[in-house]
Chains A and B, each alone.
Chain A
């Protein structure tokens, strides 16, 4: 499942997508993110029939992604690789902006 967390408003689209089929719940993103955006939960809240643990975006941060992710996304041409994307073993995380 492609889980899109975030929002779109007048200033743009701010979504973090987690591909739940690729996520192995290793928790590396939880450690890597300086803003503590990710958490690992015991079962998929969007699929009650699936009991595998996986990473999700913390509920309280979903509506603030533009600002929470800001420090990792300096403006300019050579943006460094994002820590959450870099550490993800299954390449499950992507950002829309």
Chain B
């Protein structure tokens, strides 16, 4: 039989592309992934897409129920709050605060955690044992409690919340990177490149990282769903985003006083948080599922 591709190298998909191939075939994971992309786009383009500004109120349209309600007005699709601010616009702008910031927080702590974690994986003995115990201590303090303490030091506000949550998530990433890198370093392919004379840094960068990147991504989605919940919780407690900012948790806390007469100001932001967290978790679940299948093959 004639081999037409004789001069072309046979393409063998990289671990990452194999993962994507399996991931793509899971419908639930793809739905989650689409929702995730949708939220990212919304977070970036909210100012263009939103029909109104999130802070300007229309005092003639106070506490309007959503449009499907008999008293609703279709130009305010999801109703208005007690100052006549459009709920839809506020929720859209809130995407960039709650969801967008959680994304940035996770990337920030991922980078720092991976650097510290992979460096610490190369240490041994007393230093390593000390770090391990120290991480155990930090991880045993609940993340929200630690974030609250950091906010108490820095003072309330959205930027301080972001710092607090980023700091809180770093130990998790250190822990998982360290564990993963140590596990990879025991394998034979690392020994092979070490025999070739590769330095530790080179092994880390070219051999180990491509093999642990999916595990880090799976941890990152877990961290992001926790980050969304933490940002919203701090906003709800009044320690995060301050009054005019349309952060989902803060909107919810704001609607609390009129919970009984205007329930949509409470359940809509809650649904938005739920949607974002479910989308993130579906993506994470899809990655873990694909990882498991790839390992089995």
Partners in one complex: no
Interface residues of B (CB under 8 A from A): none
